[in-house]
Amino acid sequence: MIADIAAESGDHRLPLPIEQLPAGMRGLELRDAADPADRFIAPGAPWFLTLFGRDALITARMPLPLGTRLAADALRALARRQGSRVHR
C-alpha cells in the first residue's frame, strides 16, 4: 500500500508520526475479494469494517503526496461495485 517513508523537517516532532503512518493504515487495510491485489482502507472499525465509498476516497486522498496506489486501488474496488443495469 504505502511504502516505508521518511521525513525530514526542521521540526523534530514530525518524522515519528510520518514513519508510523504506514503501520497505522495497514491495521485498517482490507483486500478486495473480487481482486485481492487491490487494497483499500476500511474505516469504521471496530463496528463496521467494510468498503464505504466516501470514507475510502477521503482516506485514500490523505496520503496522495506519498503515493497513488491506495487511491487507485480504492477507485477500482468502488468501480467494480457500480451498477450496470437500470431496473424499472
pLDDT tens for each residue of 68-81: 898 999 999 999 99
Instruction: Give the start-end residues of each E strand in 1-69.
Output: 29-32, 35-41
Q: Name beta bridge partners: 20.
A: none
In a domain, 76, yes or no: yes
In a domain, 45, yes or no: yes
Cell triple for residue 11?
Answer: 521540526
Summarised one tens digit per residue, pLDDT across range 17-58 is 666 766 777 778 888 888 999 988 887 767 777 888 888 898
Domain total for the chain?
A: 1
In a domain, 7, yes or no: no
In a domain, 52, yes or no: yes
Quick check: pTM over 0.75? Answer: no
**Helix, strand, coil % (nearest 5) of the chain?**
40, 10, 45
Domain of 55 in residue numbering reads as 15-80
